[in-house]
Structures are given as structure tokens and as C-alpha cells.
Structure 1
Amino acid sequence: MEELSKLLTAEQGKPLAESRGEIGYGNSYIEWFSEEARRINGEIVAGTTRTKEMMFIRQPIGVVGMITPWNFPNAMITRKVAAAVAAGCTCVVKPAEDTPLSALALGLLAEQAGFPKGVMNVVTSRRHTPEIGKLLCESPKVAGISFTGSTQVGKILYRQGSSTVKRMGLELGGNAAFIVFESANLDTAVQGLMASKFRNCGQTCVSTNRVLVQESVVDQFLEKLKVAMDKLVLGDGFADGVTQGPIINKAQFDKVSRMVEDARKGGAELVMGGEPHPAGGLFYKPTILTQVTEDMSLFKEEIFGPVVSVKTFKTEEEALSIANNTRVGLVSYFYIVTYLYFL
């Protein structure tokens, strides 16, 4: 486990503590689906009416092409492969070009564990990623595609898979709203935002993307948030105390920088950060922007970086309208105090 954690940090950049956590829950997928394989015959459950029952059977479909992301290069593979193998499928895994080593390590471990040759196959490439994805989608020998990644790439794969009416399992991008009402416990809300925004340097599909704070408490919220963000430590993921690693590559670094600059030119107010970190390389300062508008790119698209964009609202109706003004979803968060009265 420790060797896999170190390998993950070396190629992806996240702090070693986060890598250990990923390896741990990545292994839990293998444990779960290996136990589920004991119950592969199916099950019968109650139907929607008393006169009906539903029978579920699980049968292999054949070869499954799996295209996995760079932000969780271990867990996204174990989640996909473990389920497919438990059902009797064979797999062709195409890991992200930035993080092939974790995939190769898992392939080696599968071989050492006794997987027959050809059950789990790993194909790595930096120059020919689009061609490999197209081949997996269009080949009649591949029965299904499982992809985790951007919405843009997901649409391409969906079109390519239509030629063979491929079974598609897609987990695409999000645009998570984080809503804080004036009745919320602001300390708890800040704690939740730090967890949902800065895990893996903000590079997760469930990362907070749009922070909506009720007008009456926005100043208090921002003060508490700045204190929490000041405690973030950027640096080498192997160093003790580091909580933030780098952005994955130059293209993503430039995208984050461009989004921040475009927002500032459009009238957003910079509260903190907003520039590359003195550590150099692909490190970017944790950033807060306020006065953000809905037409700004960082409000419409996934940021995938350590940038908090804040917009205020007055009423619940306004908050819901802003939160729902997106073509993608995946997850949202809200903080509000509720009271239960028992009569």
C-alpha cells in the first residue's frame, strides 16, 4: 500500500496523506466487488405493486474499454475493473497520459494475484490518446465503454460509440454549487468548503465550483474562509505538513490562470491569491474572488483548481435559480440551520 501511495504522489502530485487515502478506498472497491461476485447469480426483490416481483441477473457483456482520469489514477481503475471482472468481463484500461504508472502497477499486481492473461490489459500513450479512445468506441469487439472525465470528451466518446450502439457508462464534469444561508453555522460551512474545494488542489469532479453566500453574512464568511485558506501549505507532496500539491499540467495551469484574469477583467474583486505561487512550477496560490457574475467562465465551467468564486444572493428563490442555471450537475452542497419542534 505504501509503495502505491508513493507512486501516486510522484506522478500526480497530491500530498502523500491524500494518496494513502485514495489507495485505501481504491482497495475497498476490490474487496466489495470480490464479495459481490459470490452473489452473482442475481436476486429477486419486491416490485412496485403487490402482484409483481423484479428479478435482477448479472451477466458479462464481454470486453469493456475503460478510460480513466488523472485526478484519481488508482481508485477510478479499481472501481471500474473490480466491478467488471466480478461480473465476468475482461478489460482494456486506457489511463490518463499524465498518470500511467499507477495503472501499470495495478496491472502487475493483477498478474501477481493470478489474473489470467488478457483479463486486465493496460494501454498507455501520450501522443495517441484520441485514436485509442476512438478505436475502443468503434471496435465491434468492445461491448462497453466506461469513462470518467470531462463533459467535452464524454460527448466525443458518446458520438463515436453510437456507430456500434455501445453500452456507455459516463461520469462527466460538474459545476457544484455551495450555498450558505444566513442561518448556517459559518464555521461548519467554511470547514465543509475547505474539504470540498481543496481536496486534490480542487481537481475533483465534485469540487465546489460556485459559492453562493447570503448577502447578510458574506463578510463574516469571507473572513473565516481567509483564515482557513491561509493555513494551506503548498509544496512537495512527500514533505511533512504539505496540504496542497501542484496543478496537474501546464495546460490546466494556464486555464486556471486565464479564468482568474478574465474574471478580474470582468469586474470580479480579488480577495487573496490570484497568481502563481513563489514555489514556481505548476503551483498556484489559493484564490478567492468576489463580485463574480454568472456569465464569467469560472462560473459556467469547471475550474479544476484552487480558486473560490463567490456570489451573493438575497433570497432562497434567487439562490436556487442561480444554482440551477447550469447544464451540468453531479453534486451540490448547502448549509442551513433547521429547527424541529415536537408538539
Structure 2
Amino acid sequence: MNQLFINNEFIASESTETMDVVNPATGQVFDTITFANENDVNIAVAKSQEAQLEWEKVPQPTRAEHVKMLIPLLENNKNELAELYVKEQGKLLSSALGEIHKSIKFIDYMSSLSMQNKGEVLQSNRDNELIHLTKKPIGVTAGIVPWNAPIMVLMRKVIPAIITGCSVIIKPSEETSLITLKLAELFIQSAIPAGLIQIIPGTGETVGTQLAKHPDIQLISLTGSMRAGKSVYEASASNVKKVNLELGGNAPAIVTADADLDKAVDYIVTARINNAGQVCTCPERIFVHEQVHDEFLSKLKAKMEQLTVGDPFDEQTDLGAIINQKQLDHIHNTVQQSIQEGAQLVLGGEILNRDGYYYAPTILDKVQPEHAAFTNEIFGPVLPIMTYDDFHEVINLANDTNAGLSSYIFSENLQEVMRASELLKFGEVYANCEAEEAVNGFHAGWRESGLGGADGVHGFEEYYNTTVSYIRYD
């Protein structure tokens, strides 16, 4: 699997550039991957274009039937997939299996939309004329997939593309190329024709930039950091292709005086420790009303102290590994800088002394808006806390960020929940629950958290162009 996947075959790259694959839970190298170069990208695009021109002639419900054949393949291979996933990424085994199950639900749901390409008949202001608006496949697409959810996010980019009549070229994260290429084995076994799905590992600077600039790619979809998204956005401007971006978040979680504190603690911790905090929808900034701060902090500390950090394959483990040394250092440096700026360390705040990349569950109190833990997305098992005393003040503080992906409100007061839902300027508001991202919802961000979105009918329609036909019949 250390090759490229082009036209339903594993082929050698023309490049000699490789990267070691390290198990984050042990710190040990267990494989290598080979990167693609620009000519490999050109070959993949040419094969994708050829296959897509034939595929768009197939009725959309028939395309969906081909895609649904992936469901039993995922179900029958879920354990093997999950084990490789954990070994390469450090996520808990239960979480890896959960992501596969959600991918199956996503495929089933997206397939159900295949009969809903409706179009419109519009009124004309001229006699004897009809105006028809129809939706057509956008063409060759490209998807850049992150390391923190490589299976589900890959499906978000592959499944709607194939059902709507497009082809797709996937650039996986360098950190999780093996699990992505493992999925290619299932694509070979499925009924999806050759050439519609290509997987080409490589760096963002080479493969990502080439995909963004390529004139024959009509849409590029990236899930990743704000830096990577801006780079792709800029590169794509050379030929004005459609861009779909789901970028970083800096999610606020507001705990009001009317919150059920036990519920708030449970949901915040559950969301924060998901994938060891390496999820863009995790609560990153916790705003607690001053009347309940002490009780909330006591309950939060007790909950975090009970967490077990360790082997992702162990059913008793709550937190697995951080993806790599660079991310581990980023987490620790952000925590230490915040302490130097005046934040109070309540719990954790250290890299654990063991093989692999692990960070202690951490709580910072008395954090201020200018502290590093509030201004930066930590992407780790760290909960920074700030108190407030006025509802409108906390809404303003929550909205004071360049990000706009997810947000949380915890209150048993329905008026507060509804007001927060109205006033929070984020693509998602989770009230008294953890992040779900339902397959029939719409996962999209405001401001620098993205353009367009994924999931549901609205995500499906990202892969269409429209044609308006003016038909005279006199």
C-alpha cells in the first residue's frame, strides 16, 4: 500500500520521495509511504477526466446502487480497517470503529438522495417560452483529507461526487495515507468503475498545490487547517475553480447559571477528549457563569482526574495518543505560554513520560481573551476556563474569533438556549449535547472556518453545476 492508486491499480510513483509511518502510541516506525510528484497528478487527472465523461451518462439512481455496494465491504472489513487506523493515527479502537459505522450511515443516506435531482421550471416574461433549470455534475473533483478523521471525511468527498456523476482524486494526509490506501482495496472490489476514484499521497506543497491549480479539476474540497485552506484557495484562483473548505475551529462552550452542571461537565469532557482533543468541533474555550464557576470547576476536575490515558487498543483507555511530536509540542507550548500570561494550572499541563506521544488531561482556569489558550486552537485535551457575569458579554466574547465552525450552550433555561442559538455566529450550535454532525445536517463554518459545507442535501448539491435552458416553441 505504499504506492499510488490510479485507475483501480496500485502503481509506483515517479517520485523517490518517501516518509516513515510512525505509530503515535509507541513512537515506532512501522512502514513507509511514497509521495506522488506533479506528473503523477497529471496522470491521475487525465484518467479521472476520461472516466467521468462516461460516468455522467449513467442514470443517477444507478450510480447510487454502485456506491451502496461499499456498505457490506466496509462492514465485513471493519476490524482490519480499524486496527490499521489505530496503529497509524493513535485514535481509540472504539472511535475508529465508530467512524466506520458513521461512514456506512453516510453512504446509505447519500444514496437515498439519488432520486432528488429535481431542477426547476421557471416562468418566462416572453410568449411561448419555457425556462428549465437543470443540475449537472461539475466534473473532475479533488479532495484533500485530514489525518484526524480520514475515513469519514474521505467518504464526505467521494460519495456525493460519485453519485452526482463526478470523479474524485483524493490527497490523503501524509500522516494517514496507509488507511486511505487500504480503502482503495475496497474500491477495487466494489462496482464503482475504474478511474472514478484516485488516491495520490504527497505533500500539500506538491500534490495539494498541483490539484488546486490544475485546469481540468472543477472543484477542490479541503478539510484541514486555516493555513492549508488559504493556500489552496489562493492557488485555485489561477483558473477560478469552485472551492469547498472546512477549516479549523475555536469552539466556545457557554455554561450559564441555569445549566445542569453534571450534564455540562459530562458533555464537555466527552467532546474534548474525542480523539484526544484533535477534532475541529471540540469545545476549545469554556465560559462559565461566575455564580457556578467553583462548583463547575470542582466537578470538571474530578471528571478529568478519572480519565485513563494509554493504549488505544485497550477498552479501558479514555484518551489515546497525539498524532506526532510536532502537535504534542504545540499543545504543551500553548499551555505553558498561557500559564506565563497569567492562567492558573488546575490539572495536568505536562507531556507524559512514556513511549509515544501523550498529553495529560489539562484544565486552565482564570484564562483571559488575550491568552494563547483562547486565541489559538489547541487541538489537544486541554480545557481553558474563563468566567463571565452577563449573557450579552459572553456572546460577544464567544463570537470574538476568526473561526466560526462550532459552538456550545449549556442551560436548562429555554430562553437562553434560543437566544444563544440566534446570536452565536457559528455554523453549528450544540445545546446541552456534544458534537454530532448528523449525516443529514450541514457541516459548514463561518468566517475563516470555511466555504461551502458537507453532509445533507446542501452538501450533496456542492457537486452540481446548473444550466438554464430557454426553450421557445412558437
Structure 2 length-normalised TM: 0.67
**1:41 Cα deviation from its structure 2 partner:** 3.8
Once the two structures are superposed, what CA deviation does each residue of 1:37-56 show, in whole Å capped at 9, x if it has no partner?
2x154255999xxxxxx987
Q: Which residue of 2 aligns with 1:106?
A: 183
Amino acid corresponding to residue 61 of structure 1 in structure 2: I
Conserved 8 A contact 1:27-1:78: no
Q: Which residue of 1 aligns with 2:118?
A: 42
Separation in 2 of the partners of 1:13 and 1:57? 45
Q: Relative to structure 1, is the Cα distance of residues 89 and 334 closer, same or farther in structure 2, using a 3 angstrom cutoff?
A: same
Q: Relative to structure 1, is the Cα distance of residues 312 and 108 closer, same or farther in structure 2, using a 3 angstrom cutoff?
A: same
Q: Relative to structure 1, is the Cα distance of residues 139 and 215 closer, same or farther in structure 2, using a 3 angstrom cutoff?
A: same
Separation in 2 of the partners of 1:187 and 1:278? 31
Once the two structures are superposed, what CA deviation does each residue of 1:135-182 show, in whole Å capped at 9, x if it has no partner?
001110111101001111111111100111010010011110000011
Amino acid corresponding to residue 330 of structure 2 in structure 1: K
**1:57 Cα deviation from its structure 2 partner:** 4.1
Separation in 1 of the partners of 2:392 and 2:207? 46
Separation in 1 of the partners of 2:156 and 2:282? 20
**1:59 Cα deviation from its structure 2 partner:** 1.6
Q: Which residue of 2 aligns with 1:51?
A: none
Choose the corresponding residue for 1:272, options 320, 342, 347. 347
Q: Which residue of 1 aligns with 2:86?
A: 9
Amino acid corresponding to residue 106 of structure 2 in structure 1: Y
Q: Which residue of 2 aligns with 1:180?
A: 255
Please say which of residues 91-100 and 103-112 is displaced more in the overlay: 103-112
**1:280 Cα deviation from its structure 2 partner:** 4.0
Separation in 2 of the partners of 1:245 and 1:205? 17
Task: Please identify the structure whose Cα radius of gyration is greater.
Answer: 2
Separation in 2 of the partners of 1:334 and 1:228? 19
Q: Which residue of 1 aligns with 2:455?
A: none
Separation in 2 of the partners of 1:328 and 1:56? 35
Separation in 2 of the partners of 1:313 and 1:34? 46
Choose the corresponding residue for 1:216, options 291, 309, 316. 291
Q: Relative to structure 1, is the Cα distance of residues 335 and 142 closer, same or farther in structure 2, using a 3 angstrom cutoff?
A: same
Conserved 8 A contact 1:235-1:279: no
**1:273 Cα deviation from its structure 2 partner:** 0.1
**1:117 Cα deviation from its structure 2 partner:** 1.6
Amino acid corresponding to residue 30 of structure 1 in structure 2: I
Separation in 2 of the partners of 1:76 and 1:339? 33
Q: Which residue of 2 aligns with 1:320?
A: 395
Once the two structures are superposed, what CA deviation does each residue of 1:79-101 show, in whole Å capped at 9, x if it has no partner?
11000000011111000000012
Separation in 1 of the partners of 2:99 and 2:411? 30
Conserved 8 A contact 1:58-1:87: no
Separation in 2 of the partners of 1:44 and 1:270? 59
Amino acid corresponding to residue 26 of structure 1 in structure 2: S
**1:116 Cα deviation from its structure 2 partner:** 1.8
**1:303 Cα deviation from its structure 2 partner:** 0.6
Amino acid corresponding to residue 314 of structure 1 in structure 2: D
Q: Which residue of 1 aligns with 2:144?
A: 67
**1:114 Cα deviation from its structure 2 partner:** 2.4
Choose the corresponding residue for 2:217, options 128, 136, 142. 142
1:305 aligns with 2:380: yes
1:166 aligns with 2:241: yes
Amino acid corresponding to residue 12 of structure 1 in structure 2: Q
Q: Relative to structure 1, is the Cα distance of residues 73 and 339 closer, same or farther in structure 2, using a 3 angstrom cutoff?
A: closer
Separation in 2 of the partners of 1:57 and 1:111? 32
Q: Relative to structure 1, is the Cα distance of residues 46 and 339 closer, same or farther in structure 2, using a 3 angstrom cutoff?
A: farther
Amino acid corresponding to residue 7 of structure 1 in structure 2: L
Once the two structures are superposed, what CA deviation does each residue of 1:222-261 show, in whole Å capped at 9, x if it has no partner?
1111111122111111112111111111111110010001
Aligned partner of residue 242 in structure 1, secondary structure: coil
Choose the corresponding residue for 2:316, options 237, 241, 250. 241
Q: Which residue of 2 aligns with 1:82?
A: 159
Aligned partner of residue 100 in structure 1, secondary structure: helix
Amino acid corresponding to residue 42 of structure 1 in structure 2: K
Q: Relative to structure 1, is the Cα distance of residues 253 and 45 closer, same or farther in structure 2, using a 3 angstrom cutoff?
A: farther
Q: Which residue of 1 aligns with 2:57?
A: none
Q: Which residue of 1 aligns with 2:169?
A: 92
Aligned partner of residue 267 in structure 2, secondary structure: helix
Amino acid corresponding to residue 232 of structure 2 in structure 1: L
Choose the corresponding residue for 2:208, options 133, 151, 165. 133
Conserved 8 A contact 1:40-1:57: no
Conserved 8 A contact 2:122-2:133: no
Conserved 8 A contact 2:119-2:135: no
Aligned pairs, number: 331
Q: Relative to structure 1, is the Cα distance of residues 117 and 273 closer, same or farther in structure 2, using a 3 angstrom cutoff?
A: same
Separation in 1 of the partners of 2:344 and 2:258? 25
Structure 1 length-normalised TM: 0.92
Separation in 1 of the partners of 2:280 and 2:122? 35
Conserved 8 A contact 2:257-2:292: yes
Choose the corresponding residue for 2:276, options 197, 201, 218. 201
Choose the corresponding residue for 2:367, options 287, 292, 304. 292
Conserved 8 A contact 1:40-1:87: no
Conserved 8 A contact 1:274-1:287: yes
**1:278 Cα deviation from its structure 2 partner:** 3.2
